[in-house]
Chains A and B, each alone.
Chain A
Amino acid sequence: MFVYADHAATTEMSPVAIEKMTDALKTVWGNPSSLHTVGQEAKVVLEKAREEIAAVLGAEPREITFTSGGSESDNQAILSAVALGAAKGKKHIVSTKFEHHAVLHTLQKLEKQGYEVTYLDVHQNGIVAAEDVAAAIRPDTALVTVMFANNEIGTIQPVREIGAVCRQAGVLFHTDAVQAVGHLPINVRDDNIDLLSLSAHKFHGPKGIGVLYARRGVRLSSLIEGGAQERGKRAGTENIPAIVGMAAALTEAAENMEANTAKVTAMREKLIRGLRGIPYAHLNGDRTRRVPGTVNFCFEGIEGESLLLLLDAKGISASSGSACTSGSLDPSHVLLALGLPHEVAHGSLRLSIDETNTDAEVDYMIRSVEEVVSYLRRMSPVWEDLENGKRKHFFAEYESEEK
């Protein structure tokens, strides 16, 4: 059986999006900056896609800037807010310990340039408290940046509350919503969001295209200088086919969100119940406040990369936060932020499903993970020590369902 369970990494393109995109490749090849008819026809298509995307987010079309994806949007959002703050002498940023590296690395670079960053705790359940944000804001705070949903463990942050706190304090609020858009209902007005990043390939759109939403009045700084495209905030001839594909995929995701959420949540619950049947397994992140499809577990006594490779041999595509899969020596900063020790964080597994998965696939995944975990434990000296009491277990043998 082949099971793709890495939708948080990327998704297969929607057939509707492929059709619209290939159609645009063939027929909409004009440069929207050209004044002639071919160019202006392309401009019409571009602006229609912008309107579609704005409508889904509850934004105005002029608040939508097309970028190359989530990373670029995160970079531009942060650097823009920082530039606006610097003009008023504000050099402090509030964020969290478990942001995506597109945010964290940008913040680390700013720290070297003399900015100060407060990284908020995400607690054991992987959720930032809005009160913590309120307490961290200072008179010199230029920006609060907190992700909408975490990419590794799937926990949803109280974005609306955090946004309200920021509004009251008069501080800009950015959210990296790459894992949320297309999967959770988002309205930038109701959710008090000033800046939002999204990436098309996380909701069955094409890769290499994304959006930076910036509320009217929030002046963006450009990262790429050149032409006057995107109101002068992002130079470079627009990738119209990709933009059309993104708009189609987002519209489709929004239309089907309710049905997809019901289906995916039911499968996720079954997956969680099944994997909890494995002894000394632990669900990472809040039990219920999570995106429909993302499940992240730690299994004591084993290492994540070998787990991944053996699951791959069984036809299952998954992901892990182990050091060996990241190419670094430390396990995932997200799992460490939850307070897990290194040796436990090495044994993590992320399964991210969506509406294209089936119940039978969920059963197969549970069975396969059980088999592989017990196989690896049989050859693990760490598991041997856990069994004979030389090492202490970190988790309970079985987690209670209500937790």
Chain B
Amino acid sequence: MLYSEKVMDHFQNPRNVGKMDDADGIGEVGNAKCGDIMKMYIKVSNGVITDVKFNTFGCGSAIASSSMATEMIKGKPIDEALQLTNKAVAEALDGLPPHKMHCSVLAEEAVRAAVKDYYDKNGIAYNPEDFRENSCAHCHE
């Protein structure tokens, strides 16, 4: 099989899927040209991500990575959510095929983009260096 059972589970039964009308931060990363776009919505209260939702256009591993990332940051303080790495997402899914690792990168960046949007909207200062997007670099080589 191409994917682990965990990937298939999160792909077929995605957690936290959907839109959020009253989101405090929204992050959208990826590029339709490359075949995947992730949009992540977060609700923040006292520095804690109390709720999270996602919508994804992409392959099975992109949907599974988004789903897993939302589970990993839900209920966590923002500082902790920002520690989420693509490797951690891939490991939690029992691995991704090598050519699908960029899906987990996209998930990490979607979380960061949502947090950045929350910071921007609330005038919270941050270091822009911490919020760079790289996932689409491969498409534009």
Q: Which residues of A contact B (CB under 8 A)?
A: 301-306, 309-310, 313, 322-325, 327, 329, 331, 341-343, 346, 379-384, 391
Are A343 and B33 in contact, CB atoms less than 8 angstroms apart?
yes
Docked Cα-Cα span, A272 to B98, in Å, equals 36
| A400 CB, nearest partner CB in chain B, Å | 26
Question: Contact flags (1/0) for B35-62 with A, using CB distance below 8 Å?
Answer: 1111100000000000000011111111
Other A-B pairs beyond A343-B35, A391-B32, 9, CB < 8 Å: A303-B35, A303-B62, A305-B59, A313-B12, A325-B59, A379-B18, A381-B39, A384-B19, A384-B55
The 6 closest A-B pairs by CB, nearest first: A324-B59, A343-B32, A305-B59, A381-B39, A380-B57, A382-B57
Task: Report yes or no: B57 in contact with A323, Cβ–Cβ below 8 A.
Answer: no
Tell whether B14 is near chain A: CB-to-CB under 8 Å. yes
CA A381 to CA B63, docked complex, whole Å: 12
Q: Assess whether B59 is in contact with A306, with CB atoms less than 8 Å apart.
A: yes
Q: Does the CB pair B33–A342 fall under 8 Å?
A: yes
A379 touches B35 (CB 8 A): no
* CB within 8 Å: A-B pair count: 73
Given A309-B11, A329-B138, A331-B35: A322 in contact with B59 (beta carbons within 8 A): yes
Interface residue B28 (Cβ < 8 Å from any Cβ of A): yes
Residue contact B11 to A379, C-beta cutoff 8 Å:
no
> For the complex, is B132 an interface residue (Cβ under 8 Å from A)?
no
Least CB separation from B14: chain A residue: A379
Say yes or no: B33 contacts A306, CB within 8 Å.
no
B60 to chain A, nearest CB (A): 5
Measured in the bound complex, the distance between the Cα atoms of B61 and A329 in whole Å is 14
Chain A residues whose CB sits within 8 angstroms of the CB of B56 once the complex forms: 379-381
Q: Shortest CB–CB separation between residue B63 and chain A, in angstroms? A: 6
- The answer to whether B34 and A329 touch across the interface, beta carbons within 8 angstroms, is yes
B108 to chain A, nearest CB (A): 17
Complex CA gap A115/B87 in Å reads 45
Question: Is B99's CB within 8 Å of the partner chain A?
Answer: yes
Nearest CB in chain B to that of A377: its residue: B57
Residue pair B138, A383 in contact (C-beta under 8 Å): no
Q: Across the two chains, which residue of chain B brings its CB closest to A327?
A: B99
Q: A380 and B139 in contact (CB under 8 A), knowing A306-B63, A324-B35, A329-B34?
A: no
Asked whether B139 lies within 8 Å of A329 as measured between CB atoms, the reply is yes
- Contact pattern, B 1-45, Cβ under 8 Å of A = 1, otherwise 0: 000000010011010011100000000100011111111000000
Residues of B within 8 A of A309 (CB): 8, 11, 60
Residue among A302, A304, A323 having the largest count of chain B Cβ atoms under 10 Å: A323
List residues of chain B with CB within 8 A of the CB of A301: 57
Assembled-state Cα–Cα distance A204/B50 (Å): 57
Mark interface residues in B96-132 (1 if CB within 8 Å of A CB, else 0).
0001100000000000000000000000000000000
B37: A residues at CB distance < 8 A: 380-382
* Contact assessment for A303 and B57 in the assembled complex, using a CB-CB cutoff below 8 Å: yes
The answer for the CA separation of A302 and B56 in the assembled complex, in Å, is 9
Expressed in whole angstroms, the minimum distance between the Cβ of A377 and any Cβ of chain B is: 9
Determine the residue in chain A with the shortest Cβ distance to B17. A379
By a CB distance below 8 angstroms, the chain B residues around A391 are: 32
Contact B36 A303 (CB under 8 A): yes
Supposing A303-B57, A343-B32, A381-B57 touch, asked if A310 and B18 sit within 8 A by C-beta, the answer is no
- Contact residues in B for A304 (Cβ distance below 8 Å): 59
Interchain CB contact under 8 A, B35 and A342:
yes
Q: List 21 A-B contacts (CB under 8 A).
A: A301-B57, A303-B58, A303-B59, A305-B59, A306-B58, A306-B59, A306-B63, A309-B11, A322-B59, A324-B35, A327-B99, A346-B35, A379-B56, A380-B37, A380-B55, A380-B56, A381-B37, A382-B57, A383-B57, A384-B39, A391-B32
B11–A302 contact, CB under 8 A? no
> Given A327-B99, A346-B35, is A306 in contact with B17 using a C-beta cutoff of 8 Å?
no
Chain B residues whose CB sits within 8 angstroms of the CB of A382 once the complex forms? 32, 37, 57
Question: In chain A, what residue has the closest Cβ to B19?
Answer: A384
- Complex Cα spacing A52 to B17, Å: 58
Partner of B60, one of A306, A331, A342: A306
Closest to B102 in A: A329
> Which residues of the other chain, A, contact B55 by a CB distance below 8 angstroms?
379-381, 384
